[in-house]
Structure 1
């Protein structure tokens, strides 16, 4: 194990010991809260002529269960999702144990969110932003994380042993049944270190200036050698009254130790029951803007109008870049939330074209494709 990992775990033990002596938030009565959601989805896609002729499709999206529990200062947070078999079936999105030392400091252990970039989401729409499709938005991995969430400064330090794992064979690839995209195929994420820093300015005009970094290994099941991957990101978020703006730039490099004859210019990533190729080296730029609009149209209580843009610039010259833009509105009516989105993409695996290669080599001369999507969910 790298020395930095040992130091992080040692620090966690020390802080845990201090917290135990202070006996902060050690409630005597167990607490339990259960929630969840049921969602349905309608979509009409420009690249599906038969679907267009029947006016689109409306069907099941997911059912999920969320649990939160606490006792003696130790708390639990889980979310389990059930998609259709075609989209991966059942999967644990997150699940971790935590301890709050005080109001600003906390430690989490388990399947917890990777501290990289704008969180919790670098987007406003149902599709997320382009960063999600390459494992850089709302990603969760197996490890330990320390959080400091102060009034002016926030930082997170984490060590992740690997991506979420449900197979424990000697030569076993990760399952494609997962919520967030991770490196898949003959490479596995290993011993990743993450650090994130946020500086907050202003009370009415709120600014969040941030920087993130990560470094980890890529263990190859064929060569039994370990390559590496790393990323850097700078991010900015502005909130003023009902307006919100997010901007982010991230530079990513993957260096797999593949067997001879296997390209090192791309990697395999998987989620929702299937895998595709992603360029090994790229830069992503994202920009989102949103405005909340209070209304009194019973039962509708609020609208959020937004536009989310993402651009993926691939380092290999003969790879075609990928672009994504989503314009939409979120409608709130009691416990029902409905996303109405128009998502357009160029060389985007989930928006027409070639699913396997769009985020790697792409398709020269590809056309823009679009999907009109309505996602309706009841959250309890």
Structure 2
């Protein structure tokens, strides 16, 4: 990352902080009018990381070198019953992306509409894990996933219901989370992916959650569904995509247990010679695009325990967690993908530190290009090998 980029952003944030106009200042980066009907807040986080990876081909074979991870700028605001929620990212190697950017309107205390680059609600969301390291649901498109469209939300003490429509997917050069994409649009691709030219269109998501309050804490169980057209640029024909998900989220005093099961299928209308058993996924090019099994079932189980801390400077709590995910591919001769992350999160606002130990097999995040077929046939250099990665991530929020 070039120094001038950080300097420009820092100056911009500083200028926002000193130009308050007629607004009453609530904090250095937050403003509210006198009657509280309008507000605007600038925030964000900057993160650096250190990493060790076990496979011999990795360039991260030693700890002790901090690298830039991400700078996120958050803009939030309210005006009467309208609200704004947006997050913009500057990532390593000067890649940029949008985590979310939408405007909402509260119809009444229980109903709201949101338009813009909105979350696609599905199962455990927006983050399907506790740790800093993303897990298999994320790499299959079921975590922190947004699209241009419209969401309707209903929420009361018993139910949380979300319904969304997305005519197209987010442009590939703005994607933070992975989504199915066409070879011609995605960056950082490989020649063997050239035949995969499918994009989702007219997607509909629904998520229905039943909530319970108990003496031990809040509980929820939910059912999710998604369906869309899958347009092929070469054949100009529409296939289809669908996914079904079941999840639970249980709070038991200081414990939290999350579980999900998601079955998905991409039924593409590919030209002859293209293997229908695979689907191309990708983001903004920060990491290479990759193929996944076109049909499979991904399961996850996440457990965490939060320990309160007293009288230790800014440290308020330590969260211990273990995240496990498993992808079973429909083709029985394809090896399963597995990941497990054990770690701790140190909560010391405005500082946040994650310490992750992730081990797994047949997952592109563990092995990189040497495990490039991990989500499909598992026939790469490091297929079916248990590999591990240690990751330290340091964040400062403003």
TM-score, reference length from structure 1: 0.86
- Give the match for residue 200 of structure 2: 189
Q: Is the 8 A contact 1:44 1:56 kept in 2?
A: no
Shift of 1:317: 2.2
2:376 paired with 1:360: yes
* Residue range with higher mean Cα deviation, 267-276 or 221-230: 267-276
Deviations 1:141-175 (A, max 9, x none): 1110100111011111111111112xxxxxxxx44
Q: Which runs of 4+ in 1 moved over 6 A?
A: none
Shift of 1:334: 2.5
Q: Is the 8 A contact 2:118 2:148 kept in 1?
A: yes
Shift of 1:299: 2.8
2:153 paired with 1:141: no
- Shift in alpha-carbon separation, 1:372–1:104, aligned structure 2, 3 A: same
- Give the match for residue 299 of structure 1: 314
- Shift in alpha-carbon separation, 1:115–1:336, aligned structure 2, 3 A: same
2:209 paired with 1:201: no
* Residue number among 74, 77, 81 corresponding to 1:66 in the alignment: 74
2:376 paired with 1:376: no
Q: How many residues end up aligned between the 2 structures? A: 343
* Residue range with higher mean Cα deviation, 200-209 or 306-315: 200-209
Deviations 1:28-59 (A, max 9, x none): 85321110110001100001467565446421
- Give the match for residue 234 of structure 1: 246
- Shift in alpha-carbon separation, 1:272–1:330, aligned structure 2, 3 A: farther
- Give the match for residue 320 of structure 1: 335
Find the residue that maps to 1:300 and give its secondary structure. Answer: coil
| Structure 1 Cα separation of the partners of residues 335 and 240 of structure 2 | 24
Aligned pairs for 1:81-160 within 5 A: 81-85=89-93, 89-160=95-166
Q: Is the 8 A contact 1:265 1:281 kept in 2?
A: yes
Find the residue that maps to 1:262 and give its secondary structure. Answer: coil
2:282 paired with 1:267: no
Q: Is the 8 A contact 1:275 1:356 kept in 2?
A: no
* Residue range with higher mean Cα deviation, 29-38 or 155-164: 29-38
* Residue number among 205, 212, 215 corresponding to 2:227 in the alignment: 215
Instruction: Please provide the CA RMSD for this pair.
Output: 1.8
- Shift in alpha-carbon separation, 1:60–1:265, aligned structure 2, 3 A: same
| Structure 2 Cα separation of the partners of residues 28 and 154 of structure 1 | 27
Shift of 1:333: 1.5
| Structure 1 Cα separation of the partners of residues 37 and 221 of structure 2 | 39
2:273 paired with 1:278: no
Find the residue that maps to 1:119 and give its secondary structure. Answer: coil
Find the residue that maps to 1:160 and give its secondary structure. Answer: strand
Find the residue that maps to 1:126 and give its secondary structure. Answer: coil
| Structure 2 Cα separation of the partners of residues 288 and 243 of structure 1 | 11
* Residue number among 355, 366, 375 corresponding to 1:351 in the alignment: 366
- Give the match for residue 6 of structure 2: none
| Structure 2 Cα separation of the partners of residues 52 and 280 of structure 1 | 31
- Give the match for residue 46 of structure 1: 54
Q: Is the 8 A contact 2:51 2:60 kept in 1?
A: no
* Residue number among 325, 334, 337 corresponding to 2:349 in the alignment: 334
Shift of 1:116: 0.6
